[in-house]
Amino acid sequence: DAKTTQPPSMDCAEGRAANLPCNHSTISGNEYVYWYRQIHSQGPQYIIHGLKNNETNEMASLIITEDRKSSTLILPHATLRDTAVYYCIVRGSGGSNYKLTFGKGTLLTVNP
């Protein structure tokens, strides 16, 4: 799977949008970008995924650049409960059923 690079930590004010960047410059054409988050010691929680088009669901929006070398996860109105480690994962190769490979994510801290 393609390697991803994320900032180790970010801060966001409660109620503001949180924009979490991810670089995946070696992504292949058939690989998807997935975002998960993990709130302290809980199971990783699926947020959103996409291939090349921007995606939106009830939790977040995913913006993928046209060249697909980077993406941004947007939490439109961050709350204190969004404080978590956010993982950007590129998935689509490397094994028979495309396991999710977790790298070093971004610790997002939402401040009151």
Partner 1 sequence: AAGVIQSPRHLIKEKRETATLKCYPIPRHDTVYWYQQGPGQDPQFLISFYEKMQSDKGSIPDRFSAQQFSDYHSELNMSSLELGDSALYFCASSSTDRGWRNTEAFFGQGTRLTVV
Q: Which residues bind partner 1 (CB under 8 A)?
A: 30-32, 34, 38, 41-46, 49, 51, 87, 91-92, 95-105
Q: Which lies closer to partner 1 via its Cβ, residue 43 or residue 112?
A: 43
Q: How far is the CB of 93 from partner 1 (least distance, A)?
A: 8
* Min CB(66)–partner 1 separation in Å: 20
Instruction: Let me know: does 67 contact 92? Beta carbons within 8 Å.
Output: no
C-beta of 21 vs 32, nearer to partner 1:
32
Looking from the CA of 110 toward its CB, the CA atoms found within 13 Å total: 20
Nearer to partner 1, 25 or 45 (CB): 45
Cβ-based neighbours of 16, under 8 Å, separated by 6 or more: 77, 78
In 1-112, alpha helices (H):
none
